[in-house]
Amino acid sequence: MKEKAIHLAHLKRSFKMGEDTVHALDGISFGIEEGEFVTIMGSSGSGKSTLLNLIGCLDRPTSGTYKIDGVSIKDLGKNQLAQIRNEKIGFIFQSYNLLPRTTALENVELPLLYNNSIGVEERRKRALEALEKVSLSDRLHHTPSQLSGGQQQRVAIARSLVNDPVVILADEATGNLDTKTSYEIMALFQELNRQGKTIVFVTHEPDIASFSGRTIVLKDGKIIRDEKNTNVRVALDDLRAIPKQD
Amino acid sequence: MRMLNLLKISFKAIVLNKVRALLTMLGVIIGVASVIAMLAIGEGSKQSIKAQISSMGSNMITIRPYAERQGGVRLSRNEMQSLTLDDFELIQSEASLLTNVSPQVDGNGQVIYGSDNWPSSIYGVNPEYLSIRVWEIQSGSMFTDVEVKSASKVAVIGQTVVENIFTNGEDPVGRMIRFNNIPFKVIGVLEEKGENTFGQDQDDVVLAPYTTVQKRILAIDYLQSITASAISEEQSEEAVEEVTELMNKSHEIQKGATADFEIRSMEELISTFSSTGEMLTILLVAIASISLLIGGIGIMNIMYVSVKERTREIGLRLAVGAKSSDILMQFLIEAILISITGGLIGVFLGLSTTYFIEKMLSWPTSVTGYSIVISFAVCAITGIFFGWYPARKAATLDPIEAMRYE
């Protein structure tokens, strides 16, 4: 039996909005095993962003338990949460969130700057490796403004890989990209998954979801569907199917 | 390790906003530069006053009669007869902390040579007077104790007197001049001294044996004052005490009673002038400090803008594992770096301003080490103080909201 990378049980998160209490997440339980590629789907307001924030340790649940890599985050303080984020989670955002006027290499090094156990040389070495994995070794010293959207997102992916996280969390990672680039990014995710990375991908596009091995659908803070994909598409094949544009 | 990383991050943020950082620094730069320049000017004028007073003989002590009432009328000091030659002899033989002592009687009148005349003062003194006042003979010589004893009609004259009565440029030594119609033989000329701190011309003087001035010019047998020099400037206070005791005893002054004499030292004068100079310095520094304060507020302002502008960046840093304290330190270091860099440039600018003031305006200046240390320390404190609130604001941002910030 594989150890669960992520384990959620009866997870609830509610927000006070004036007089009313909004239950963004209303009792969610599931587990994600190491090496899984899971997409979380749902329309806006379904609670998927809240769930992502909880999994990413940016937020704490109102009730229920959440364990990442066997660690329950319920009783952890702010600084300990920061450390978990730093060591166990890799974030990828829709709008890339790279530091402007900062080179790709430095952007990728960023999470390691906040890890005291990693020295300058180790940091550089890991960042170079991560950029190689996303095929950007020739763009090390380019700043975000000198890179295309797809390249920027690949820098962001390299940044999420650099601390060798337990899970990579992608929030609408293809939301700002055209179809072809989206497929390229999905191909990259599939390749990383094949190498053993656990990936949680939040999206509202069923097309994108079909590249993953499992889909969880949220509605009104509850899971309405959680099933394995029997017919996983291969992004590289779809990429080849797109006619070359001239 | 962690501090080094944070320092790098902060340094980079400043380099990315060079012009803005420089403009922010400007307030601090001007503040520090003016504090240093103002202190240098204040200190310089203080020292030059002190030096001038010292050149008049900073260890000089003057004993004068104290103008007491006689039947309700307060007498002029010069008409009081309480100071006598006995006092002088007593002080000269008994006072151990004095090096030179001279009686003094002054008179005013017209100096005449040939067809030229000039109103001047005659000081009746003894030969020791020269070393008390730190005056030098330019040509000829000072009169001797023998000439004092015999009340010879000899005189040593100052440059102003020379210029005004020896208009043909002839050598005054050996010539006969008249002071209030009494003939004097000029035996020496004093070195030029210029004006003293009070604007008094120190060269407009005729020195003659006090015995001669007493008998021939004033027709008195008492002394108007006794001038003496203490062993050193530091010991002049003790010397004053010693002389006071001697005088009290010989004048039979009861304890608590008003004495019929008064003793003053140059030291008192120096401290009076120094405190005036200090007052000036405090004023100048107060003005300069205000500009430093404004510089600090400038830093705070820019740091707030910087935090606002980089909200998304802060959110990202928090998301990838930065602790609140890391963010706090990052912005605090940024503020301190700006203020300290500004301080360094300010010190440099202050020193060069001081240099130019001295060269161009030929004002006396003196840069003190403490002014640099203090203004630099104030800079660092300014950075911490005014950087704290913006940094605190950055550190308490919620990562989720910060990343959504547009």
Contact criterion met (CB < 8 Å) for B320 and A85 = yes
Interfacial B residues in 3-22 facing A (CB < 8 Å): 5, 9, 12, 16
Chain A residues closer than 8 Å to B326 by CB: 114
Confidence band, pLDDT 50/70/90 cuts, at residue B123: very high
Contact criterion met (CB < 8 Å) for B9 and A116 = no
Q: How much is the mean pLDDT over chain A?
A: 90
User: Taking the CA atoms of chain B, what radius of gyration do you get in angstroms?
Assistant: 34
C-alpha A151/C-alpha A203 separation (Å) is: 20
**Pairing outcome for strands B116-125 and B205-209:** parallel
Looking up tokens 């004499």, which residue turns up? B261
Distance from CA of A229 to the nearest CA of B (A): 31
Q: Which among B5, B313, B323 has CB closest to A99?
A: B313
Instruction: Supply B127's token pair.
Output: 């030969």
Residue A160: closest C-alpha in chain B: B320
- C-alpha A26, offset from chain centre: 22
Confidence band, pLDDT 50/70/90 cuts, at residue B67: low
pLDDT at A109 over 80: yes
Give chain A's domains with CATH numbers: 35-63+77-241 (3.40.50.300)
Confidence band, pLDDT 50/70/90 cuts, at residue A74: confident
C-alpha B335/C-alpha B312 separation (Å) is: 19
- The full set of domain ranges for chain B reads 2-52+272-404, 60-231
Count the Cβ atoms, other than its own, within 10 Å of residue B31. Answer: 29
Residue A106: closest C-alpha in chain B: B9
Q: pLDDT tens digit string along A214-243?
A: 999 999 999 999 999 888 888 888 888 887
Residue with the larger pLDDT of the pair B115 and B254: B115
Contact criterion met (CB < 8 Å) for A116 and B1 = yes
Q: Is A110 on the interface with B (CB under 8 A)?
A: yes
B256-263 mean pLDDT? 79
Residues paired with A84 in a beta bridge: none
Instruction: Please give the pLDDT value at position B5.
Output: 82
Q: pLDDT tens digit string along B339-391?
A: 989 999 999 999 999 999 888 888 888 888 888 888 888 888 888 888 999 99
C-alpha B339/C-alpha B193 separation (Å) is: 49
Q: Is B326 on the interface with A (CB under 8 A)?
A: yes
C-alpha B163/C-alpha B405 separation (Å) is: 86
Residue B2: closest C-alpha in chain A: A116
Distance from CA of B325 to the nearest CA of A (A): 9
Q: Is B359 on the interface with A (CB under 8 A)?
A: no
Confidence band, pLDDT 50/70/90 cuts, at residue B31: confident
Confidence band, pLDDT 50/70/90 cuts, at residue B126: very high
B114-130 mean pLDDT? 91
Contact criterion met (CB < 8 Å) for A93 and B318 = no
Instruction: Please give the pLDDT value at position B253.
Output: 79
Closest C-alpha to A49, from A166, A162, A175: A175
Contact criterion met (CB < 8 Å) for A78 and B324 = yes
Contact criterion met (CB < 8 Å) for A85 and B12 = no
C-alpha A194/C-alpha A202 separation (Å) is: 19
Residue type at A97 in one-letter notation:
N
Q: pLDDT tens digit string along B8-29?
A: 888 888 888 889 899 989 888 9
pLDDT at A154 over 80: yes
User: Taking the CA atoms of chain A, what radius of gyration do you get in angstroms?
Assistant: 18
Contact criterion met (CB < 8 Å) for B321 and A86 = yes
pLDDT at A187 over 80: yes
Chain A residues closer than 8 Å to B2 by CB: 116
Q: What is the pTM of this model?
A: 0.72
Phi, psi (rounded to 5 degrees) for B201: -75, 110
Instruction: Please give the pLDDT value at position A1.
Output: 44
Q: How much is the mean pLDDT over chain B?
A: 86
Least confident of A106-115, B204-213, B219-228, B254-263: B254-263
Contact criterion met (CB < 8 Å) for A116 and B2 = yes
Q: Is B106 on the interface with A (CB under 8 A)?
A: no
DSSP-based three-state secondary structure for A21: strand
Residue A97: closest C-alpha in chain B: B316
Q: pLDDT tens digit string along A6-28?
A: 999 999 999 888 888 888 999 99
Instruction: Please give the pLDDT value at position B290.
Output: 85
pLDDT at A245 over 90: no
Instruction: Supply A180's token pair.
Output: 């072809």
